[in-house]
Structure 1
Amino acid sequence: MSSSTAPPHGRPPLHVVQLLGGGSVGTGAHVRSLSAGLVARGVRVTVGAAPPAERKYRFTAAGARFVPVPVRMTPAALGMFAALCADADLVHAHGMRAGLLGALALRGRGTPLVVTWHSRSTVPGLRARGRSLTESCVARAASVVLATTSDLVDRARSRGARDARLAPVALPSAPPADEGTAPCKLRAELGAVGRPLLVAEARLDRSQTAGVLLAAARGWRRLAPQPLLAVVGEGPERTALQRRIDRERLPVRLLGRGNDPAALLADADVALLIARWAGRAPLAEEALRRGVPLVATAVGGVPEVVGDAAVLVPYGDPQALGAAVGALLSDPDRRAALAAAGRARARSWPTEDTTVAQVLSVYDELAAAP
């Protein structure tokens, strides 16, 4: 079957099972986009994922069949997945959990397994050792590993992947802001009228990320006008972080996970991607598409994704972050230049169509192999 046409007469369509093991919003959106593109090209797609995934991503509306699968390493889950893949020509797992489930369920079958590595873990200690073992198992079991950034390609190869390829994914862009929305309505709700609005997304846990943001915000109190930092995220340390914000009178608002970062970006002056590791982070991609100046940590695949269209700072350095944001807020020409560079950079990224075509070429290659 070619990468752009329906299967030849008399030949059944390729049946591909997409396995989603949880993962980030970006991973789920990619699987939905990929499923729609494959169906449009004549591929029969079955998506196996936890039940809430269908409500969130509407795979069936994209033309795929959806089967709820408990994505856990239990005999029952393995049996369900093995049955799901009984007539599959190929299985495509997204993420480590899904990759491990696929590797175990398909053992001895000869069914090709493609695994996309969307991200990598930064957990320390014993959990990091366990993660390394999982990565090695998945890398060696996969017929092909598709990695979204070059550093993940290198990591997959170091874990024993026999075939690891760079395959950047195109995430669907967020819809434009509602034109009927009153100007500055969101700013008024946040208390950011007449002052710069900074937007970040972070898990509120014991990692260094939230602490770096709050430490940088302490320095922003000296700026006039004083910027407001809106942090989208949840986590077990939310209460402790809020106490610190109140105690130090930091210009920070903690917003729940239910808030849409893309909606906040519509009114943002600067976006912040502060992470120990990141690849094709949806917040960063959306900021560049919308022309919002971005300050990001120079980690993982971030430099590769943003190029010279963002200000890069070291991870774990609140002084560098604070200085970078302060310099941008005082330099409207630099912000305008970054906005233009961001939009241009976004236009250079692969589209959803080219992403589907690249993945389908891998499927064709594996399906044709003896």
Structure 2
Amino acid sequence: MRLVLLLGHATGGVAAHVDDLARGLASSGEDPPRPGEGTEVVVATSATTAGRWRERRRPAGPDAPDDGPDVRVLWPAPRRPLVALRRLVALRHLLRGADVVHAHGHQAGLLAVLLVGGRPGRRRPGRPAVVVTWHNAVLGAPAGWRHRLTTAAERLQARRADLLTGASDDLTARARDLGADGAVTTPVAVPDLPGPVGTPAPPPGLEDLAPGTAVVLTVSRLAPQKDLPTLVRAAGRLVRGDGAVRPAGPWTWLVVGDGDPGVERGLREQLQEAGAPVRLLGARHDVPALLARADVFALTSTWEARALAVQEAMAAGLPVVATRTGGLPDLLEGVGTLVPVGDDAALAAAVGDLLADPVRRAAAGRAARAAYEALPGPAEVLAGWRDRHARLAAGGPWSPAGAGR
């Protein structure tokens, strides 16, 4: 079977998930592999995303073999029309030569259904099956021409894809409302993390943290959707003790991730005014070590699916404070602390309570780890996708009962 994964410009959890999925699907799943079996995987993406994957694999060492799939830079470059046209022609040829096309994200999904053509249930000979996975909601104004345009694009994907899946239940419900009757929620898993919480050695660059300093950790792109100004306001409340329990000892809040330069500038200006102990660390390759040093994990997004960063924190046994939005309640209801979007007072109170109460913090961390262990693991998620792709490639029906594996 020939499988093409399509992804545009992506960072953070989505890029990591597609990278892991591609590498997993490219292997036969058996050791040693049986001759003549397995899947030929080609990934079509942007130069930026391909570069991020190379950076992500850097910890393995410069001499480590790259046994992953064939990655091709074919995402259209809108500022270079001739290059974009050549890439579109090459991408169309690649997609139409596949057995299954699996597009990740709204832009990739729209591009896939337009370039492949046809309709589900009326597959002409040689037309590949098209799978679209939505990882994010389309955010923005609920009215106006832009809203009408994005809704039309969503509806086209919902009606043209052979299978549409969502990373959280609200995305799946949206797809069904727009015509994807068989839409299902498919989990995105993270591998287990090595090392216990509380590793004494400080991560590189944080050697100046005094022993006993409590650490709140946020792993997030610097983007408007992540609502990091609310984080800074909450940190300021903790410093002042304004409506929140003030931590008894020293503490700091680490923010890991890069992204929009304008967002970063705004945050640094806000931090100067707030005087809060928040550090913007940029992109890091040692997130497991940072999780091991942290005491609390927090996420302030206006919307998330089943955020990989939250699942990583749960795997590390950290108590999690996050906004009640998207798929986060699916992960954290009854396990973590959920606060309203944009409510810096509630965020400060939740984080302050955990920092001030080691017993409660430890119990919340154990509950998070137990909830993580009940989630589908990487092997189960990979097996589910192998099954769906194989069924669609064979032209037979896929089973909704098995689609959530």
TM-score bracket for this pair, using the shorter chain length? 0.7 to 0.9
Distance 1:297 1:358 in 2: 29
Q: How many residues align?
A: 356
> Which residue number corresponds to residue 69 of structure 2?
64
> Which residue number corresponds to residue 326 of structure 1?
352
Residue 364 of structure 2: SS of its match in structure 1? helix
Q: 2:112 aligned with 1:102, yes or no?
A: yes
> Which residue number corresponds to residue 46 of structure 1?
42
Residue type at the aligned position of 1:77: R
> Which residue number corresponds to residue 243 of structure 1?
269
Residue 293 of structure 2: SS of its match in structure 1? coil
> Which residue number corresponds to residue 158 of structure 2?
139
Distance 1:354 1:129 in 2: 38
Match of 1:80 among 71, 76, 90: 90
Distance 1:265 1:33 in 2: 20
Change (3 A) 1:210 1:30: closer
**Aligned-residue offset at 1:189:** 3.6
- Per the normalisation by structure 2, the TM-score is 0.79
Q: 2:253 aligned with 1:229, yes or no?
A: yes
Distance 2:263 2:19 in 1: 32
Change (3 A) 1:65 1:365: same
- Between 93-102 and 66-75, the greater mean CA deviation after superposition: 66-75
Identity between Structure 1 and Structure 2 (%): 35
Q: 2:253 aligned with 1:253, yes or no?
A: no
**Aligned-residue offset at 1:165:** 1.1
Q: 2:136 aligned with 1:119, yes or no?
A: yes
Change (3 A) 1:238 1:190: farther
Deviations 1:134-191 (A, max 9, x none): 22222222100121211111011122224201211212345559x9x97235584464
**Aligned-residue offset at 1:339:** 1.2
> Which residue number corresponds to residue 363 of structure 1?
389
Distance 1:243 1:86 in 2: 49
Residue 101 of structure 2: SS of its match in structure 1? strand
Gaps of 5+ in 2: 30-37, 58-64, 79-83, 119-123, 397-405
Q: 2:43 aligned with 1:25, yes or no?
A: no
> Which residue number corresponds to residue 60 of structure 2?
none
Distance 1:364 1:340 in 2: 38
**Aligned-residue offset at 1:124:** 3.4
Distance 1:98 1:188 in 2: 39
Does the CA-based 8 Å contact 1:187-1:267 persist in structure 2?
no
Distance 2:223 2:71 in 1: 33
Change (3 A) 1:28 1:175: farther
Distance 1:183 1:358 in 2: 39
Q: 2:238 aligned with 1:220, yes or no?
A: yes
Distance 1:263 1:29 in 2: 18
Give the superposed CA RMSD.
2.8
**Aligned-residue offset at 1:204:** 4.3
> Which residue number corresponds to residue 34 of structure 1?
21
- Per the normalisation by structure 1, the TM-score is 0.86
- Between 264-273 and 166-175, the greater mean CA deviation after superposition: 166-175
Distance 1:263 1:160 in 2: 44
Gaps of 5+ in 1: 1-13
Deviations 1:285-325 (A, max 9, x none): 11100011110111100111234221111111111111111
- Between 55-64 and 156-165, the greater mean CA deviation after superposition: 55-64
> Which residue number corresponds to residue 219 of structure 2?
201
Distance 2:225 2:68 in 1: 40
Does the CA-based 8 Å contact 2:255-2:279 persist in structure 1?
yes
